[in-house]
Structure formats: C-alpha cells, structure tokens
Amino acid sequence: MIKDIVAEIYPLDRTLVSEGLDRSLEVLGRRMPPGSSYRIEEFPAGKDYWTWTAPKRYSVREAYLEVVGGGRVVDFKDDPLHLVSYSVPVDAVLSWEELAGHLHYSAKRPAAVPWVFKYYDAAWGFCLSKDAYDRLPRDKKYRAVIRSEFADGPGLKVGVGLVHPEGGPNPEAGEILVSAHICHPRQANDNASAVGVGAAVAAGLAARPLPRGSASVRFLFQPETVGSVCYLASHEELIGRTRAAVILESIGNRNTLAVQRSWQGATHIDRVSAAVLDRKAPDHRSLPAWAMFSADEKVINGPGVGVPSVMFTRYPYEEYHTTDDDMDVIHEDMLQEAADVVEETVRIAASDYVPARLFKGPVHLSKHGLWADYRQDREASLAVQKAMLYFEGRHTVFDIAEALGMDYWAMRGIVESYRAKGLVEALPVPARPQDPAHFL
C-alpha cells in the first residue's frame, strides 16, 4: 500500500538539512524499485548554487518554554512542531511582552499546533495551540531555552531515481522529471503523501517498462526549492534534455484532484495531463500556474530553466501546516487514484513522438499488411487511412489521437504498425521554449 510509505516517513523531523530528512531518504531507498538506480546526492553547506546558498545542517538537543516558578508550556521532545524550524539558540528569561512576538498559533484551528519555519532568518520561536496560548498568564516571567546547532556537514541531500524504457535510454527522447519535496516535519499530506505516490509511480514504470525508444523518467525527492536549485545547478546538462516535469504536492487527502498548468500554459505536458484527467478523474480541477501556491516548479519551470511543469495536488485541506496533518488525513484510494493519473500522464508524455513519413502518395495498405476491413470495423479502417495524413513531421502521436478523437495507445499502435513497415521514422517531441508574451 502507498499509505505504508507515507506512514514510515510522516513521523520524521524532516527539516531542510537534518537527521530526519536523511532518514526519510533512506526509507525511500528501501521503497523505490530495484530498477530505479536510486541514490542519494549530497551538496555541501555554504556553497553557492545559482543565487542560493546551501543551508547548514540543523539539529536540536532540547527546546522548551516554561513559566518561571511554574510548569512547562511546550517541549520539543513532545512534538518537533512546538519549535519554529531552524530556530537559533536561546536561553533567556522574558516578560510576556518580550515573549509574545515569538509565539505562534493557528486561529483557524485553535486546538492544533501550527508548523512555522524560519529557514533563512536568524530567528526563533515556539508554536502552541490557540487554546493553550489563551490560557498563558500575562503577568508571569517565562524561560525560553533552545539548544540548537548549525553544522557544516553532512550537507543537503537529494534522493534521485532513474527508470529507463525497455532496451535502455534513448538520448534523443530525453527525460521526463517527477519531483516531490520530502521536507516538512511531522506532516503526512504535505508532503509525505506525494513522496509515496512518486515511489509508486516509479514501481509501476519499473514493473512495466515504457516502450523502446521512450524518454527515461527521473525521480527527484528533495528539500523544497533549495534542493531542486542545488541539484539542477549541479547538473545543468539535464535542463536541455528534460522535456517536461510533473510536480507532486499534498495529494492524499479527500479532495478532488487538481492540476496546476505550466507557466507556458498549453504545452505537450499540459495537454497530456488534461486528457488523462478527463478520462481517469473527471471531477478534477484545472488551474493556471501558481493559482493556489507554488512548489518546485518555480525552479524547474523558472528563470533560466523553463522546463514545462504541471503540478498534481489535492490542496486545499483544512489541516495544512498543523499537527492535524497526520495519518488520518491520508486515504489509500486518493493516493492510488493520483498514482494512476500520474503514471498514465508520464507514460504518454514519455512514449510520444513525431512520426515523419518516408513515403509519397497514399500507402498501399493491403500490400503492406495495414489494411483494416471497413465492413468489419469502419472506425479502425478510417483511422488507419486518416492517420497517414498527419505524418508530416509536425504532429505527435498524441496530437493525431486528439485530432481523430482516439485513445492515445490505440493510435500509437496504428503509427507503430506503419513504423514497423519502414514507412515512418520517429522524431523526438520538439522542445517548447518559454514564450515571453505569456507573462505579459
């Protein structure tokens, strides 16, 4: 079950560079299929990657807030969400006025503890429920203790898998990227759910390989934003050969499946994902880029990279970024539906190509064993004949299937029959560069 993967990763304290994140990548290594060549890459703290700097490793020995002469208010050892992630060390006695600005709660979910992070600020704070906050005395002194450490190593880590098609990689076809961030401590849906779905998709592609000549599929599991920056800045050669990306985010809750389209808006991956959703999740939502929020597509589909990227998510959900984002939010049928949609989207995007004719005039179908008897199946007979009109090196198999109102795999079978007779050659799906006018 996909939910088993989520349950194993969920409890870990997965801040950007931390023991909890390292352990989650190791868990994932046991869950990824053997054929995925899974490995963990490390990026040293303090090194610049494009305009970013890899953060230091964060660890907490202890952290608590107590009333002087009274009881303990919150304690990190009870739940890591009680501490603002990446809080700097503190040992101070404070008045209520001095303390209040360092306390965080959720007004929308007063019984829950929010998750708050200050990854790139030298700040500190504690998180508690609104109910607990309201009960705190305002006329007392408080002692805040945070014994945290920032170390140079081990560095930021990223998990990488690579699944090739039958017969091995085809450099001309390039790659499709599937990405899910693996950070966020003690959050089940955000984003352990997406990591589980990513592993399930990898397993499906390894068990039933893509057709020979398809694109390879790369899987990336990283700390959000900075992880994909570090990885792509260190592997810029991948940018040119990555045709499209699929981002997975908060995908196990009970809500309709949504797709956020790429910045470009109407690329091959946008159209493929829309077609798959229409068939497999007809109640889905389709939204423009960044309509709800952004994740790693702001890197992968961002400046200087520009790989068309769609995001699959079930956001919004009420438990977001609180202690209520636990395993009760996760549902196996939602995970499985998402995995099916993502895998089919990747299968079509990776296996599609542009058929270019090597003949003139209408093909003598019966001579080449391609004739379909119209008296038995008129639709099939017409499809075989109409398909050849699109073999001008401008349309992909998916384009032709859409134009003729056919299933992609059925059309691919027809095109492959022409190809097997040496009547067409397969050209790669063309790159779709960013159109600056789209952003105006």
Q: What is the pLDDT of residue 438?
A: 42
The Cα 425–Cα 430 span in angstroms is: 15
The 10 Å Cβ neighbour count of residue 414 is: 23
pLDDT digits (tens, 9 = 90+) for 371-385: 777 667 678 788 899
Mean pLDDT across 198-217: 98
Is the model's pLDDT at 437 over the cut of 80?
A: no
Contact 272, 348 (CB under 8 A): yes
Query: What is the rounded average pLDDT of the residues 308-336?
Result: 98
Q: What is the pLDDT of residues 157-171, one digit of tens each?
A: 999 999 999 999 999
- pLDDT at residue 432 in the model: 57
Average per-residue pLDDT in the chain?
A: 95
Half-sphere exposure of 426 (CA within 13 A, CB side): 21
pTM for this structure? 0.96
Answer whether the bond into residue 255 is a cis peptide, omega within 30°: no
- At 399, the pLDDT band (50, 70, 90 cuts) reads very high
pLDDT digits (tens, 9 = 90+) for 21-31: 999 999 999 99
Go through the domains of the chain in sequence order and give each one's CATH number.
2-55+154-351 (3.40.630.10), 59-151 (3.50.30.90), 354-427 (1.10.10)
CA distance 290 to 294: 5
